[in-house]
Amino acid sequence: EIKRAPRQPDIPHPQGHFPPRSLPTASTRPNMFSIVAAKPTIFASSARRSAVSKRRAKLTACPRASAEEIPAESVVARSDQNVSFTRRDALLAALAVPLVMRDAPAFAETKKRAGAAGAAPKTSEESFASLRSDIEALMKKDGDFGPTMVRLAWHSSGTYDKMSKTGGSGGGTIRFKEELAHGGNAGLDKAVARLEPIKRKHPEISYADLFAYVGVVAIETMGGPKLKFSYGRVDEMDPNAVTPDGRLPDADVGDGPGPKERDHLRAIFNRMGFDDQEIVALSGAHALGRCHADASGYVGPWSGTPLLFNNSYFVLLKGLKWAPNDEAAKFQYKDPSGQLMMLPSDIALIEDAKFKKYVDVYAKDQKKFFAHFADAFEKLESLGTSGLTPLSA
């Protein structure tokens, strides 16, 4: 039994009496101790001791400790008022220790998981230097993959709608099967699959940044202009964000390069925010690659150097005589040798006077074409993005 000091008169708090803090209850702390809460009341010293004793008696024992296990010797008696506060504080401390011990492992695990979730390496200049090396290595292994990467970058960005602010390169949605199923993306599922090992090697880089950056690296590696690139795109995780099919330009919307074809080109590119000059400049990427029957249905290359980015597209478009290819499965044009081809959308550029003036400029001046293409391509890859960080190298 604790030996108590003689009773001292209650000394009022200088700012008035404050009720003692009530203990947590089962209703306010699920899965804690079953505690009968005490009604907060101003107690005289003897009444306060009695209330604490009753409260201790009603505690349900904790599996690891209980209120009754508190040694009486641990309570220091100084004055009647101090005894009640010290005993109450000791009681609360004893109850808190097993609770903390019980919850500590779970808390540590939660903290560990939270740290792991935010522990992904931060994207940096070094990340893209390493990524570039891997992309270039892939191109050395398969040179024909370069033009495909340009097409992937183009199509991942060319879905933007400036009115609804939807689409563009910001979410990397072209990796979803819903978007790969769009008619204009035929064959790009293989390109996305081939980039998957590189993506796993660089988890800090988003799919959206990857799809945009492969186009930059491919164009530069194949002799094109130095392109500006900015990173920080955030991947969209919901396939429902995929835009409707039909936002990419069609190679043929009629029988040949008539007014419908020219109107279609302007409608598609104006929707993204491009003018006539930018339409023609971006079309210059057709210097690369070739059409495949199992993808677009068209067959053949635009130029004799399909792995070299230059102004040959405009030189050939303007300088050769193009005639309909009656032997092709889909309506397309052929040059006198029958080795090269042009699409109806290509011929539309020399049938429309406003387009043709830029074809003439780029056919004569590759340097100017490179400059205009670089600006237009940077704009294309920025569609649907915000807050990007420019890559210095």
Active-site annotation, residues:
155, 302
Q: What does the block give as tokens for 256?
A: 């040949």
Residue 361 burial (CB count, 10 A): 17
Crossing angle of the two packed helices 188-201 and 207-221, in degrees rounded to 10: 100
**The pair of three-digit structure tokens given for residue 269, joined into one six-digit string:** 């590119």
Beta bridge partners, 231, equal: 389
Chain centroid, CA 254 distance in Å: 38
Output helix, strand, coil percentages for the chain, rounded to the nearest 5: 50, 5, 45
Dmax (CA) of the chain: 119
Q: What is the torsional sign of CA 156, 162, 165, 170?
A: positive
Exposure of 354 by Cβ count < 10 A (0-12 exposed, 13-18 middle, 19+ buried)? Answer: middle
Q: 333 has which bridge partners?
A: 324, 342
Angle, vertex CA 355, rays to CA 337 and CA 270, nearest 5:
120
Six token digits for residue 254: 């009629």
Element (H, E) at 46: helix 45-57
CA separation for the pair 115, 105 (Å, rounded): 15
Q: How far apart are CA 334 and CA 233, in angstroms?
A: 40
Distance CA 216, CA 212 (A): 7
